[in-house]
Structure 1
Amino acid sequence: MTRPAVNMGIAGFGYAFGEDQDVAAVVGEYVTNTERVLNWGYRSFYRAPEGVQATDLAAAAARQALDRSGVTADTVDLVVLAGPDVPEYLAWDGAAALARELKIARTQTLVLTEGCGAGVHGLHYVASTLALQPEAGTALFVAVNRISEFHRNRMNLVNTVLSDAAVAVVLRRDHPANRWLATEQFTDPEHCDVLRIDFGGAVSPLPPPGWSSVNAPGGHEQIRKQFANDPDKLHRYLENRYARLVEVIDRACARVGLGRDDIDHLIYLNDSAASISAVAEPLGVPLERTNAALAPDHGHMGAADQLLSLALQLERGEVTSGDVVVLCGISACRWGATLIAI
Structure 2
Amino acid sequence: MAGPIVDLGISSFGFAYGEDRDVASAAGDYVANPERVINWGFRTFHRAADDVQATDLAAEAARQALDRAGVSADALDLVVLATSDMPEYSYWDGAAALARELKIERTQTLLLNEGCGGGVHGLYYVASTLATQPDADTALLVAVNRVSEFHRNRMNTINAVLSDAAVAVVLRRDHPANRWLATEQFTEPEHCDLLRVDFGGAVNPVPPQGWSTVDAPGGHERIREQFGGDPRTLRRFLETRYERLLEVIDGACGRAGLGRDDITHLIYLNDSATSIAAVAEPLGIPLARTNADLAPDHGHMGAADQLVSLGVRLENGDVAPGDVVALCGISTGRWCATLIRA
TM-score w.r.t. length of structure 2: 0.99
State the match for 2:172 in structure 1.
172
Whole-Å separation in 2 of the counterparts to 1:38 and 1:199: 29
Paired residue type of 2:104: I
Letter in 2 for 1:208: P
Aligned to 1:108: 108
How many angstroms apart in 1 are the aligned matches of 2:132 and 2:226? 40
Q: Does the CA-based 8 Å contact 1:121-1:183 persist in structure 2?
A: yes
- Give, in whole Å, the separation in 2 of the partners of 1:76 and 1:83: 20
Alpha-carbon distance in 1 for matches of 2:15, 2:85? 18
For residues 84-117 of structure 1, what are the alpha-carbon distances to aligned partners after superposition, in whole Å with 9 as ceiling and x for unaligned?
Answer: 3100001110000000100111111111111111
Q: Which residue of 2 aligns with 1:7?
A: 7
Q: Which residue of 2 aligns with 1:119?
A: 119
Residue 31 of structure 2: aligned partner: 31
User: Structure 1 residue 265: deviation in Å?
Assistant: 0.3
Contact 2:82 2:118 in 1 (8 A): yes
Deviation, 1:122, is: 1.3
* AA of the residue aligned to 1:268: Y
The aligned length equals 342
Q: Distance in 2 between matches of 1:115 and 1:213?
A: 20
Any residues of structure 2 matched to 1:246-325 within 5 Å, and which?
246-325=246-325
Aligned to 1:162: 162
Counterpart residue number, 2:92: 92
Q: Which amino acid in the other structure matches residue 29 of structure 2?
A: E
Deviation per CA, 1:67-99: give whole Å up to 9, x if none.
Answer: 001111011111111113100001110000000
For the residue of structure 2 that corresponds to 1:116, the secondary structure is helix
Report runs of 4+ in structure 1 exceeding 3 Å deviation: none
Write the letter of the residue equivalent to 2:205: P
Q: Equivalents in 1 of 2:84, 2:54: separation in Å?
A: 7
- CA deviation profile, 1:163-196 (whole Å, cap 9, x unmatched): 0000000011110000000000000011110100
CA contact (8 A) 1:54 1:84 kept: no
How many percent of aligned residue pairs carry the same amino acid? Answer: 74
- For 2:207 and 2:234, the matched residues in 1 are separated by 27
Q: Offset of 1:161 from its aligned partner? A: 0.4
Displacement of 1:3 in angstroms is 3.4
Amino acid at match of 2:173: R
Quick check: 1:193–1:226 contact (8 Å CA) kept in 2? Answer: no
Paired position in structure 1 for 2:72? 72
Q: Using the TM superposition, give the Cα deviation of residue 2 of structure 1 relative to its aligned residue in structure 2, in angstroms.
A: 4.3
Q: 1: CA distance between counterparts of 2:244 and 2:97?
A: 35
* Structure 1 unaligned spans of 5+: none
Aligned to 1:334: 334
| Alignment check: 8 A CA contact 2:3 2:255 kept | no
How far the C-alpha of 1:279 sits from its partner, in A, is 0.3
Q: Aligned AA for 2:214?
A: V
Distance between the aligned counterparts of 1:288 and 1:210, measured in 2? 46
**RMSD (CA atoms):** 1.0
Does 297-306 or 2-11 show the bigger shift? 2-11
Give the CA deviation at 1:230.
Answer: 3.0
* 1:61 corresponding residue in structure 2: 61
SS at match of 1:122: helix
Give the partner amino acid of 2:10: I
Provide the C-alpha distance between the structure 2 equivalents of 1:281 and 1:335, rounded to a whole number of angstroms.
Answer: 18
Q: Which SS does the other structure have where 2:303 is aligned?
A: helix
TM-score (norm 1): 0.99
Superposed CA deviations along residues 180-226 of structure 1, whole A, max 9, x for unmatched, are 00000000011110100000001000001100011100011222222
In the alignment, which residue of structure 2 is the partner of 1:204? Answer: 204
